[in-house]
Structure 1
Amino acid sequence: MTLTLTNTLTRSKQPFESLEPGKVRIYCCGVTVYDYCHLGHARSYIAWDTLRRYLQWRGYQVRYVQNFTDIDDKILKRARETGLTMEAVSEKYTQTYFEDMARLNVLEADEYPRATHTLDGILRLIHELEAKGYAYA
Protein backbone atom coordinates (compact mmCIF):
# COMPACT_ATOMS: atom_id res chain seq x y z
CA MET A 1 0.00 0.00 0.00
CA THR A 2 1.34 3.44 -0.95
CA LEU A 3 1.35 6.24 1.61
CA THR A 4 -0.42 9.25 0.15
CA LEU A 5 -0.02 12.68 1.73
CA THR A 6 -1.48 16.09 0.95
CA ASN A 7 1.02 18.53 -0.53
CA THR A 8 -0.10 21.80 1.07
CA LEU A 9 1.78 23.83 -1.55
CA THR A 10 -0.17 22.33 -4.47
CA ARG A 11 -3.21 21.29 -2.41
CA SER A 12 -3.13 17.90 -4.03
CA LYS A 13 -2.64 14.36 -2.78
CA GLN A 14 0.65 12.77 -3.78
CA PRO A 15 2.31 9.43 -3.15
CA PHE A 16 5.04 9.74 -0.53
CA GLU A 17 8.61 9.54 -1.79
CA SER A 18 11.57 10.18 0.48
CA LEU A 19 14.19 12.60 -0.82
CA GLU A 20 16.91 10.23 0.34
CA PRO A 21 16.41 6.46 0.08
CA GLY A 22 15.63 4.95 3.48
CA LYS A 23 15.70 8.30 5.29
CA VAL A 24 13.04 10.85 6.17
CA ARG A 25 13.45 14.26 7.79
CA ILE A 26 10.45 15.91 9.40
CA TYR A 27 10.39 19.47 10.72
CA CYS A 28 7.34 20.39 12.74
CA CYS A 29 6.49 23.85 13.98
CA GLY A 30 6.20 23.56 17.74
CA VAL A 31 4.28 25.47 20.36
CA THR A 32 4.72 29.05 21.48
CA VAL A 33 5.42 28.44 25.15
CA TYR A 34 3.27 31.01 26.95
CA ASP A 35 0.43 28.76 28.16
CA TYR A 36 -0.59 25.16 28.68
CA CYS A 37 -1.15 22.87 25.71
CA HIS A 38 -4.71 22.41 24.50
CA LEU A 39 -6.54 19.75 22.52
CA GLY A 40 -5.48 21.28 19.19
CA HIS A 41 -1.82 20.91 20.14
CA ALA A 42 -2.41 17.31 21.23
CA ARG A 43 -4.14 16.46 17.95
CA SER A 44 -1.32 17.93 15.89
CA TYR A 45 1.51 16.19 17.73
CA ILE A 46 -0.33 12.86 17.88
CA ALA A 47 -0.75 13.08 14.09
CA TRP A 48 2.98 13.78 13.57
CA ASP A 49 3.85 11.01 16.02
CA THR A 50 1.63 8.56 14.13
CA LEU A 51 3.27 9.47 10.81
CA ARG A 52 6.73 9.15 12.35
CA ARG A 53 5.98 5.74 13.88
CA TYR A 54 4.46 4.50 10.62
CA LEU A 55 7.53 5.55 8.64
CA GLN A 56 9.81 3.88 11.19
CA TRP A 57 7.69 0.74 11.02
CA ARG A 58 8.14 0.82 7.23
CA GLY A 59 11.91 0.79 7.79
CA TYR A 60 12.77 4.46 7.34
CA GLN A 61 15.36 6.18 9.48
CA VAL A 62 13.37 9.22 10.66
CA ARG A 63 14.88 12.44 11.99
CA TYR A 64 12.15 14.48 13.66
CA VAL A 65 12.82 18.08 14.68
CA GLN A 66 10.29 20.31 16.40
CA ASN A 67 10.97 23.88 17.47
CA PHE A 68 9.84 25.90 20.46
CA THR A 69 8.96 29.54 19.93
CA ASP A 70 10.30 30.91 23.19
CA ILE A 71 10.27 34.61 22.32
CA ASP A 72 6.99 36.22 21.34
CA ASP A 73 4.65 39.04 22.33
CA LYS A 74 2.35 36.54 24.07
CA ILE A 75 5.25 35.31 26.21
CA LEU A 76 6.25 38.87 27.11
CA LYS A 77 2.63 39.65 28.02
CA ARG A 78 2.42 36.54 30.23
CA ALA A 79 5.71 37.54 31.90
CA ARG A 80 4.29 40.99 32.74
CA GLU A 81 1.06 39.42 34.05
CA THR A 82 2.85 36.95 36.31
CA GLY A 83 5.92 38.95 37.29
CA LEU A 84 8.16 36.22 35.88
CA THR A 85 10.94 36.66 33.35
CA MET A 86 10.35 35.72 29.72
CA GLU A 87 12.78 32.83 30.22
CA ALA A 88 10.92 31.56 33.30
CA VAL A 89 7.58 31.65 31.47
CA SER A 90 9.06 29.82 28.47
CA GLU A 91 10.73 27.20 30.65
CA LYS A 92 7.58 26.55 32.70
CA TYR A 93 5.42 25.89 29.66
CA THR A 94 8.15 23.97 27.84
CA GLN A 95 8.29 21.57 30.78
CA THR A 96 4.50 21.21 30.93
CA TYR A 97 4.54 20.49 27.18
CA PHE A 98 6.96 17.59 27.75
CA GLU A 99 4.81 16.27 30.61
CA ASP A 100 1.64 16.44 28.50
CA MET A 101 3.21 14.69 25.50
CA ALA A 102 4.66 11.97 27.75
CA ARG A 103 1.17 11.32 29.13
CA LEU A 104 -0.08 10.98 25.55
CA ASN A 105 2.81 8.60 24.73
CA VAL A 106 4.11 10.93 21.99
CA LEU A 107 7.75 10.16 21.19
CA GLU A 108 10.24 12.93 21.92
CA ALA A 109 11.74 14.75 18.96
CA ASP A 110 15.37 14.18 18.03
CA GLU A 111 15.97 17.88 18.49
CA TYR A 112 14.08 20.87 19.90
CA PRO A 113 15.64 24.08 18.59
CA ARG A 114 14.49 27.22 20.37
CA ALA A 115 13.91 30.51 18.59
CA THR A 116 16.10 32.36 21.11
CA HIS A 117 19.04 30.09 20.25
CA THR A 118 18.78 30.77 16.52
CA LEU A 119 18.07 34.52 16.38
CA ASP A 120 21.27 35.36 14.46
CA GLY A 121 20.36 32.93 11.68
CA ILE A 122 16.76 34.14 11.62
CA LEU A 123 17.90 37.76 11.27
CA ARG A 124 20.35 36.86 8.46
CA LEU A 125 17.58 35.08 6.57
CA ILE A 126 15.21 38.04 7.00
CA HIS A 127 17.86 40.43 5.65
CA GLU A 128 18.49 38.13 2.66
CA LEU A 129 14.76 37.96 1.90
CA GLU A 130 14.44 41.75 2.19
CA ALA A 131 17.45 42.28 -0.10
CA LYS A 132 15.85 40.03 -2.74
CA GLY A 133 12.52 41.85 -2.44
CA TYR A 134 10.75 38.80 -1.00
CA ALA A 135 9.96 40.47 2.34
CA TYR A 136 9.22 43.92 3.64
CA ALA A 137 10.05 45.76 6.82
Structure 2
Amino acid sequence: MPLKIYNTLTKKKESFVPLEAGKVKMYVCGVTVYDRCHIGHARAAVVFDVIYRFLRFLNYQVTYVQNYTDVDDKIIHKANQEGVSSEVIAERYIREHQQDMQQAANKNRGRDHIELCLPVRFAHRNVVASART
Protein backbone atom coordinates (compact mmCIF):
# COMPACT_ATOMS: atom_id res chain seq x y z
CA MET A 1 0.00 0.00 0.00
CA PRO A 2 1.52 3.36 -1.00
CA LEU A 3 2.01 6.18 1.48
CA LYS A 4 -0.74 8.77 1.08
CA ILE A 5 -0.34 12.38 2.13
CA TYR A 6 -2.61 15.39 2.02
CA ASN A 7 -1.55 17.85 -0.68
CA THR A 8 -2.55 21.33 0.46
CA LEU A 9 -2.30 22.65 -3.11
CA THR A 10 -4.78 20.19 -4.59
CA LYS A 11 -6.67 19.67 -1.33
CA LYS A 12 -6.60 15.90 -1.93
CA LYS A 13 -4.87 12.84 -0.53
CA GLU A 14 -2.25 11.70 -3.01
CA SER A 15 0.32 8.93 -3.24
CA PHE A 16 3.70 10.05 -1.99
CA VAL A 17 6.28 9.89 -4.78
CA PRO A 18 9.76 11.19 -3.91
CA LEU A 19 11.66 13.27 -6.44
CA GLU A 20 14.37 10.60 -6.48
CA ALA A 21 13.32 6.95 -6.13
CA GLY A 22 14.05 5.57 -2.67
CA LYS A 23 15.34 8.89 -1.31
CA VAL A 24 13.60 11.63 0.64
CA LYS A 25 15.02 15.02 1.59
CA MET A 26 13.42 16.87 4.50
CA TYR A 27 14.29 20.50 5.21
CA VAL A 28 12.48 21.70 8.30
CA CYS A 29 12.43 25.30 9.47
CA GLY A 30 13.57 25.18 13.08
CA VAL A 31 13.08 27.41 16.06
CA THR A 32 13.78 31.12 16.14
CA VAL A 33 16.34 31.29 18.92
CA TYR A 34 15.40 34.37 20.94
CA ASP A 35 14.09 32.69 24.09
CA ARG A 36 13.74 29.37 25.87
CA CYS A 37 11.97 26.38 24.36
CA HIS A 38 8.28 25.87 24.89
CA ILE A 39 5.90 22.99 24.25
CA GLY A 40 5.35 24.05 20.63
CA HIS A 41 9.03 23.52 19.90
CA ALA A 42 8.88 20.06 21.45
CA ARG A 43 5.76 19.22 19.46
CA ALA A 44 7.43 20.19 16.19
CA ALA A 45 10.50 18.13 17.07
CA VAL A 46 8.36 15.08 17.83
CA VAL A 47 6.20 15.43 14.71
CA PHE A 48 9.13 15.67 12.32
CA ASP A 49 11.03 12.93 14.15
CA VAL A 50 8.03 10.61 13.72
CA ILE A 51 7.82 11.46 10.01
CA TYR A 52 11.56 10.84 9.64
CA ARG A 53 11.37 7.50 11.44
CA PHE A 54 8.30 6.40 9.49
CA LEU A 55 9.98 7.16 6.17
CA ARG A 56 13.02 5.17 7.34
CA PHE A 57 10.68 2.34 8.34
CA LEU A 58 9.36 2.40 4.76
CA ASN A 59 12.99 1.91 3.64
CA TYR A 60 13.55 5.38 2.27
CA GLN A 61 17.03 6.86 2.55
CA VAL A 62 16.21 10.08 4.39
CA THR A 63 18.27 13.24 4.57
CA TYR A 64 16.82 15.34 7.39
CA VAL A 65 18.02 18.91 7.93
CA GLN A 66 16.57 21.33 10.46
CA ASN A 67 17.82 24.87 10.78
CA TYR A 68 17.94 27.41 13.56
CA THR A 69 16.55 30.80 12.60
CA ASP A 70 19.33 32.89 14.12
CA VAL A 71 18.70 36.19 12.31
CA ASP A 72 15.37 37.75 13.21
CA ASP A 73 13.85 40.93 14.63
CA LYS A 74 12.95 39.12 17.87
CA ILE A 75 16.59 38.13 18.38
CA ILE A 76 17.77 41.69 17.70
CA HIS A 77 15.14 43.07 20.12
CA LYS A 78 16.23 40.66 22.88
CA ALA A 79 19.89 41.54 22.25
CA ASN A 80 19.11 45.25 22.54
CA GLN A 81 17.22 44.64 25.79
CA GLU A 82 20.20 42.78 27.27
CA GLY A 83 22.90 44.99 25.75
CA VAL A 84 24.63 42.12 23.94
CA SER A 85 25.01 41.09 20.31
CA SER A 86 22.39 39.09 18.47
CA GLU A 87 25.00 36.33 18.06
CA VAL A 88 25.26 35.99 21.85
CA ILE A 89 21.48 35.61 22.13
CA ALA A 90 21.29 33.11 19.27
CA GLU A 91 24.16 30.97 20.60
CA ARG A 92 22.69 30.94 24.13
CA TYR A 93 19.30 29.69 22.98
CA ILE A 94 20.72 27.26 20.43
CA ARG A 95 22.66 25.62 23.29
CA GLU A 96 19.57 25.57 25.50
CA HIS A 97 17.46 24.11 22.70
CA GLN A 98 20.03 21.39 22.03
CA GLN A 99 20.17 20.52 25.75
CA ASP A 100 16.37 20.39 26.01
CA MET A 101 16.00 18.22 22.92
CA GLN A 102 18.84 15.93 24.01
CA GLN A 103 17.12 15.32 27.33
CA ALA A 104 13.97 14.35 25.46
CA ALA A 105 15.96 11.98 23.24
CA ASN A 106 17.66 10.07 26.05
CA LYS A 107 16.93 6.39 25.72
CA ASN A 108 17.52 3.70 28.28
CA ARG A 109 17.32 -0.06 28.14
CA GLY A 110 14.29 -1.37 29.99
CA ARG A 111 16.42 -4.08 31.63
CA ASP A 112 18.46 -1.38 33.37
CA HIS A 113 15.34 -0.01 35.09
CA ILE A 114 13.01 -2.99 35.31
CA GLU A 115 12.62 -2.66 39.08
CA LEU A 116 11.09 0.76 38.47
CA CYS A 117 8.93 -0.31 35.53
CA LEU A 118 7.24 -3.43 36.89
CA PRO A 119 5.42 -1.84 39.84
CA VAL A 120 4.04 0.86 37.56
CA ARG A 121 2.93 -1.63 34.90
CA PHE A 122 1.13 -3.92 37.30
CA ALA A 123 -0.15 -1.42 39.87
CA HIS A 124 -3.40 -0.85 38.03
CA ARG A 125 -4.09 -4.63 38.11
CA ASN A 126 -3.27 -5.06 41.81
CA VAL A 127 -0.55 -7.54 40.80
CA VAL A 128 2.69 -7.89 42.71
CA ALA A 129 5.70 -8.48 40.47
CA SER A 130 9.39 -8.81 41.11
CA ALA A 131 12.28 -8.55 38.68
CA ARG A 132 14.56 -11.50 38.06
CA THR A 133 17.76 -11.02 36.12
Q: Does TM, normalized by the shorter one, top 0.5?
A: yes
Task: Show the counterpart of 2:65.
Answer: 65
Task: Show the counterpart of 1:101.
Answer: 101
Task: Show the counterpart of 2:82.
Answer: 82
- How much identity, in percent, do the aligned residues show? 47
The higher radius of gyration belongs to 2
Task: Show the counterpart of 1:3.
Answer: 3
Flag structure 1 segments of 5+ consecutive residues without an equivalent.
107-137
How many residue pairs match? The answer is 106
Q: 2:6 aligns to what SS in structure 1?
A: strand
Q: Does 1:27 align with 2:27?
A: yes
Task: Show the counterpart of 2:51.
Answer: 51
In 2, the alpha carbon distance for the partners of 1:11 and 1:36 equals 35
CA 11–38 in structure 1, closer or farther in 2 if over 3 Å, else same: farther
Task: Show the counterpart of 1:116.
Answer: none
* Cα shift readout 1:43-100 (whole Å, capped 9, x = no counterpart): 1121110010111122111001112111111001100112221000000111111112
Residue 4 of structure 1 aligns to which amino acid in structure 2? K
Q: Does 1:40 align with 2:30?
A: no
Residue 32 of structure 1 aligns to which amino acid in structure 2? T
In 2, the alpha carbon distance for the partners of 1:94 and 1:83 equals 19
Deviation at 1:3, TM superposition (A): 2.1
In 2, the alpha carbon distance for the partners of 1:93 and 1:11 equals 37
* Cα shift readout 1:4-50 (whole Å, capped 9, x = no counterpart): 22223333222212111110001111111101111111111211100
Residue 84 of structure 1 aligns to which amino acid in structure 2? V
In 2, the alpha carbon distance for the partners of 1:11 and 1:75 equals 36
In 2, the alpha carbon distance for the partners of 1:42 and 1:33 equals 14
TM-score relative to the length of structure 1? 0.71
In 1, the alpha carbon distance for the partners of 2:13 and 2:35 equals 34
Q: 1:104 aligns to what SS in structure 2?
A: helix
In 2, the alpha carbon distance for the partners of 1:4 and 1:100 equals 32
Task: Show the counterpart of 1:132.
Answer: none
Task: Show the counterpart of 2:130.
Answer: none
